[in-house]
Structure 1
């Protein structure tokens, strides 16, 4: 089975971010989305450490050590971008001013519950950051993750077994195999991204799926 690469997942997420959206990209995998937004599409990228108007990653050798995202990665700032206090940044997140946030996840439940900050393992380092604020504050929550763990278990589950970040917050999930919407009727696959039939996708997924492909 040929799965999407992380860059390809990021490009697929970027395709669904509309003109004029205010978007936060969570640390880790979601930061790659910035590199795939078309330059002609105006999208306002926010990072929780206090920057609005973030651009793609800088070219090698052009990094500015004072210009980083929440994951401490070098970034660029677009014309018209602005810096502000960390408290103001969290007020934007909590106040419903972000249209979309893109987060990574350890697990997502069939009801849209999110677990993305701690596996519960005794030696795991808790890393909640601003994920709880984003998950309840953004108008839409997109999740970007591999479909399965390294041991082959589905990250889509009936009920999260890891500590929750937020309840019922997820709207759409992008994996290396599919795009899946969280609806009141359950999880709905709108786009299969890998070379596998729906029956096989259902077999390796931990919860029931419906298939309603979007027309492109």
Structure 2
């Protein structure tokens, strides 16, 4: 449950890449309607219609479903309030995918001991931008119907960028998401250049000097479809 659309979409994509089935909502009302079918709830406390702490209490009053709070509130008092409201863990932003997945797995092991740590991947609709199609489940990239062969990291990098069209993705976020934070800046540039060549044009991925990269394939694809 995340009120910011870009963050909500990015979080959902991260979780799906790790094999989780995700239902993403942006309001407390929607969350209170659908949490009953969830194995775990990720809860942002800064919601538009109701404070997340109250949502946490409401869920805990009727359910034992695991709850992890994700928030920018980092004071000791906020942590205490979150945990006392019934949360099973409390993570402050910004956080890395590695930490988030590790905490999710730890919480699930406590509540569902016999659950497989690596869940079966959920089906996902291909991501399309003009002639470009990215099949998440099959890990297959096609351009105008032709297969584009990518390495594992190239696919993960392209998926991250294409899942956030028009948004500047910082180098630090790329290294965290795709390489778990352990690589040189030169490696990112090498993979970006390789993707540009394989996609047949540099316009798909634009460099934002000193910050990172922006995927503008939708606009480019619309012009060249």
TM-score band by shorter chain is under 0.3
More strand by share: 1
The TM-score with structure 2 as length reference comes to: 0.27
The TM-score with structure 1 as length reference comes to: 0.28
More helix by share: 2
Based on CA coordinates, which of the two structures has the bigger radius of gyration? 2
Bigger relative CO (Cα 8 Å, ≥ 6 apart) = 1
